[in-house]
Structure 1
């Protein structure tokens, strides 16, 4: 695969990023794609390793290692190196329905388990993946695949995020009539309203939705199941139902002062911002001129930082409860695990460029919120924490006396994750849940209701886009078997 000595001859190259001080003035994607010459060199770096851990897709110590959709990475890396782009696209689409999404917003656990990454920077897998699909659209290779035969069976899919879209794509190709129900005014789920334009421009999502429509999938927008259509009516209209509603119930911070005006969930903030951008809707949460605090150290928190910067906030800081990560792998985080190391995301670069320092604060605990006389948020009180192992070997946190601090804030964004799917629809359908998630065994995906299936974050909890695609494809195969007695759809177990 690739050039025999490519990993020694060529260094990893990073995609060009636009100047942070320039790009915070617009909402366009912050990076630019590689040239074909660079991509050829990067494809050449892929080793002819005996076991390509990059495509193994496993969970080690609670973290994803390798690609959960088992992308045939060495194969399409080699084809790019040889200039065989159309063949590379065919191999990529064999396992991945939407590489234009994963190539932009997936955290790339494949790169963490790349064999080259044992001692050198990983192959630029994510950038190559994005380039292959973008060239496919550019060259006109991505044409509608309209099924020649229809089965007469009908499937309802609730939710149009990556799991819903993947299952819809697969089932449509199997010949079933597929209707996707989405409560928002645009399809795409979090791809549209949860991930800001700087990471995923919405014309990329809309381009894929148009293609799926041309292939025969119906999208019912502005339609909330359980409200606009009673949940039981889905069974009357369709032969099978798949719930791909995501894990949209956000975790809250219950503490003194939480009722102050100016405290919002991160996803509410991001959704409103994107809706305003796309629809010129004045009903959004504006950070302009405000001191902003983002509570939560993950990708969603970083997206909040980048959004607040583009809204011209006065300042922005990000709180994380854990200590700063090491620069290199520790003894307890060995390859091929996903590297748990310090990184600087696009939003952190932007904040540092504007305000002169990284916005992140580590080992910090929020104690309370304080409002002014009118109920508007005025400040946030915190204390530093020490993380250590107790006598039972468990990590615990302890406050450090004398480290109390008061932060000015008129806008706080809570980005500490999700608890699971929203419950009212599940109750209407009479579905069993476990730990707030729909109870449905992986590999089977059927709930306690015979013709109702569940996949993606609604079933597994908050996770990666590649796991959503994995589950969307696998549930489609099970539904195809349920409807016809067998399935023509591939399973990841076949790769």
Structure 2
């Protein structure tokens, strides 16, 4: 603890965002880094608590508290304050394979567990993490480190999202020969095609993929396991198979008019936009454009926010966001939602901020349920019919007299995901849990099929990137034990 009074002397200062009217004109990242002196001061705010809840990583009342990958936060905060950046990077990489991802898109459950946040704003752990790794790349400290010794064991990892990449990276460190299969044309899974460029620049993803490839991991793109190659065939070819396919089955909205032209799943919209942006800077037209349209986004999570931000960058006429749940309280309720639980208060993310600036009002409407979609004679969406609801016994109940018709040209369904798609599980005879995820225990990751493991969203359900990394690392440890009888992995 370099400065015992740091938390008394310095106020919380986060990485600033570019002005809304500037950033909606491009696809560059919305955040910019603080100056180095400010970063060091923010590191000094860390209290070096006797019990640092920030890195314990537990689920409490349905939300994460503390870092699921147990980042050594007090240690690298102190090193930042002391201007020992390379050592801070070493400590950060000790528990996190990809801090450049979590430092950009993780919602920071570590800060929810920060002891300082009991009565003061939390330490800027998330921003400190990004600064450390970005400084590491800037100074050339992040380089390929291939293993010195190879085993003769082979592992197939199916899916190249954060769980798959973390698992592959760890198994490769242990000397195994790892091949990652990805059905898309680029490696990264949701990091590449699920998160828009303004939150996570794809050059950042590709930079890490290039390092992993230089370390000896083989990547195969454009191959859909379960379709282009049978999952059972992989089982024959490799000593172990790890399924990190993600929870890619979107939650549908089966109401009247769902099949109208103009109603799309959010990932159809976001994924195609990113691909077109990378392929041609959107010049090929191979994406769903919101330009000049009245857009309705159904769903209030991160994916919904990304749909709002993307629609604004297309130049939509107006974007509205609907959420069936009640509006959260402005401030944390310290009785029903005490520290160190995840704070369930209202949060206004980058997309809502941009809509407020450009449209003059918050795009979000809470406690609203969709009743039907209205179309014209040609099957084109023209309007959405909604009703306000109240929650009775944890179920939404329509409020009579609050029915509303709203004109709409484009509706984006961002209501979450239900689990992995079916072919792989069917071909391997995998057991599924009640939520249709691959059945395997956390910290064990073994499925009912010998030599087949599952991790990430496909095992635990839709979750955070940092949990995916946790599971990918854990699965690698168990696979290493399965192959070698013991493990060198944490």
TM-score (norm. length: structure 1): 0.97
Which of 283, 298, 309 lines up with 2:312 in the alignment? 309
Alignment deviations for residues 281-324 of structure 1 (CA, whole Å, 9 cap, x no partner): 42211101100000000010000000000111110000011111
Counterpart of 1:143 in structure 2 is: 143
Instruction: Say yes or no: does 1:483 pair with 2:486.
Output: no
Map 1:187-206 → 2, pairs under 5 A = 187-206=187-206
Counterpart of 1:178 in structure 2 is: 178
What is the distance in 1 between the residues matched to 2:324 and 2:395? 11
Which of 316, 326, 331 lines up with 2:329 in the alignment? 326
Determine helix, strand or coil for the equivalent of 1:443.
coil
Map 1:44-59 → 2, pairs under 5 A = 44-59=44-59
Counterpart of 2:398 in structure 1 is: 399
Q: How far 1:209 moved relative to its partner?
A: 0.2
Alignment deviations for residues 348-371 of structure 1 (CA, whole Å, 9 cap, x no partner): 111111111110001111111000
Determine helix, strand or coil for the equivalent of 1:437.
coil
Instruction: Say yes or no: does 1:244 pair with 2:247.
Output: no
Counterpart of 1:424 in structure 2 is: 423
Determine helix, strand or coil for the equivalent of 2:64.
strand
Which of 361, 365, 373 lines up with 2:365 in the alignment? 361
Determine helix, strand or coil for the equivalent of 1:180.
strand
Determine helix, strand or coil for the equivalent of 1:308.
helix
Whether the aligned pair in 2 keeps the contact of 1:101 and 1:200 (CA below 8 Å) is yes
Whether the aligned pair in 2 keeps the contact of 1:154 and 1:239 (CA below 8 Å) is yes
Q: How far 1:397 moved relative to its partner?
A: 2.2
Q: How far 1:395 moved relative to its partner?
A: 2.2
What is the distance in 1 between the residues matched to 2:114 and 2:359? 35
Counterpart of 1:8 in structure 2 is: 8
What is the distance in 2 between the residues matched to 1:354 and 1:215? 46
RMSD (Å) for aligned C-alpha atoms: 0.9
Map 1:5-404 → 2, pairs under 5 A = 5-280=5-280, 281-330=284-333, 331-388=335-392, 394-404=393-403
Determine helix, strand or coil for the equivalent of 2:31.
coil
Q: How far 1:14 moved relative to its partner?
A: 2.0
Whether the aligned pair in 2 keeps the contact of 1:2 and 1:47 (CA below 8 Å) is no
What is the distance in 1 between the residues matched to 2:50 and 2:391? 40
Aligned length: 485
Q: How far 1:396 moved relative to its partner?
A: 2.8
What is the distance in 1 between the residues matched to 2:285 and 2:205? 23
Determine helix, strand or coil for the equivalent of 2:204.
helix
Determine helix, strand or coil for the equivalent of 1:438.
coil
Question: Which 5+ residue runs of structure 1 have no aligned equivalent?
Answer: 389-393, 491-495
TM-score (norm. length: structure 2): 0.98
What is the distance in 2 between the residues matched to 1:59 and 1:212? 31
Q: How far 1:343 moved relative to its partner?
A: 1.3
Determine helix, strand or coil for the equivalent of 1:75.
helix
Determine helix, strand or coil for the equivalent of 2:386.
strand
Alignment deviations for residues 388-410 of structure 1 (CA, whole Å, 9 cap, x no partner): 4xxxxx42322222111111101
Determine helix, strand or coil for the equivalent of 1:453.
strand
Alignment deviations for residues 62-113 of structure 1 (CA, whole Å, 9 cap, x no partner): 1111110000101100000010101100110110000000000000011111
What is the distance in 1 between the residues matched to 2:442 and 2:174? 21
Q: How far 1:2 moved relative to its partner?
A: 4.2
Whether the aligned pair in 2 keeps the contact of 1:226 and 1:428 (CA below 8 Å) is yes
Q: How far 1:15 moved relative to its partner?
A: 1.4
Alignment deviations for residues 212-240 of structure 1 (CA, whole Å, 9 cap, x no partner): 00000000011111222122211222100
What is the distance in 1 between the residues matched to 2:412 and 2:320? 11
What is the distance in 2 between the residues matched to 1:469 and 1:48? 25
Deviates more, 1:224-233 or 1:374-383: 224-233
Whether the aligned pair in 2 keeps the contact of 1:2 and 1:77 (CA below 8 Å) is no
What is the distance in 1 between the residues matched to 2:394 and 2:484? 50
Counterpart of 1:391 in structure 2 is: none
Whether the aligned pair in 2 keeps the contact of 1:2 and 1:45 (CA below 8 Å) is no
What is the distance in 1 between the residues matched to 2:257 and 2:247? 26
Determine helix, strand or coil for the equivalent of 2:423.
helix
Determine helix, strand or coil for the equivalent of 2:100.
helix
Q: How far 1:48 moved relative to its partner?
A: 2.4
Determine helix, strand or coil for the equivalent of 2:140.
coil
